Amino acid sequence: MITGPSDSERRARIVQAIVDETGVTEQIIEKLVHAFYAKVRVDPELGPIFARVIGGDWGPHLAKMCDFWSSVMLMSGRYKGNPMVAHMRLKTIRPEHFGRWLDLFTRTARELCAPEMAEAFVARAENIARSLQMGIFYRAEKYPSAKRPQVS
Amino acid sequence: MTFVVTEACIKCKYMDCVEVCPVDCFYEGENMLVIHPDECIDCGVCEPECPAEAIKSDTESGLEKWLALNAEYARKWPNITSKGVPPPDADAWKDVPDKYANHFSENPGGEEDADRARAA
């Protein structure tokens, strides 16, 4: 068997490349997450939706979102969850809320981060927002049949 | 949008992707993994992790068949949430062509599979 670099070496190299390119750190992630949700809480569209689910104690949700962004940006594996299902449970959510969420996130990232880093966050956020929005509202159109695939 | 696992995974099944996926959207067959397209949030973390470069964004052209295969088998195979033992000959299968035609297995993966790999 040919042995390549171990998984942890490989991952360390990938993460280092991300850090070198974007400058993302755990501290920045925490700062961004807290600043972003401070905007969300007072937003007339998104605030009430989050308030209904989170109630008065934002601590656990903020910690969870720091874990989420750490997993997404720095591959830390700290977050494990099913955001698709969590969002599908929200009865008051509408497709346009994802656009609003992305606007606030983008604005916060650009306020707090250098341009390369802000764009790295925004690129991930765009994909995630689009994927949740499509998954929740357009699933039936996306995968109309469960026919057996023919792969050649 | 989603990421999909393609032919290069077959008989390699390194499973590094499983460790970094924040949403546990990988499903395990006997000799490859697939991504559940309804659960993937398109974060892209798994893509550079794959030593076989088997994971692609469905925005790339020509992946429709693989998207359908991922969707089908994600419903049939068990969810995998932690990395198991890759096949001992994984590296030797990395660049072998036509793995789907010759080696794809519809069988689900799981514990027995991991036990076999450990025993080998």
Length of chain A: 152
Low-confidence residues in chain B, pLDDT < 70: 112-120
Model confidence over B57-85: pLDDT tens digits? 999 999 999 999 999 999 999 999 999 99
CB contact under 8 A, A2 and B92: yes
Q: Which residue has the tokens 């089908």?
A: B72
State whether B91 and A1 contact (CB < 8 Å): yes
Are residues B35 and B4 in contact, defined by beta-carbon separation less than 8 angstroms? yes
> What pLDDT band is residue A142 in, cutting at 50, 70 and 90?
very low
User: Do A80 and B43 lie within an 8 Å CB cutoff?
Assistant: no
- Which residues in chain B are contacts of A11 at CB distance < 8 A? 16, 20, 49
Segment A103-126, tens digit of pLDDT: 999 999 999 999 999 999 999 999
Structure tokens that stand for B105 in this block: 């297995």
Cβ contacts of A148 on chain B, cutoff 8 Å: 72
ipTM, interface predicted TM-score of the complex: 0.85
Residues of B in contact with A79 (CB under 8 A): 22
Is pTM beyond 0.95? Reply is no
Lowest mean pLDDT: which of A90-94, A96-100, B95-99?
A90-94
pLDDT at B118: 61
Whether residue B49 and residue A14 make contact (CB cut-off 8 A), yes or no, is yes
Instruction: Give the closest residue to B47 by CA, choosing from B83, B90, B98, B3.
Output: B3
Search chain B and give the residue with CA nearest A9.
B49
Give the whole-angstrom CA distance, residue A97 versus residue A129.
10
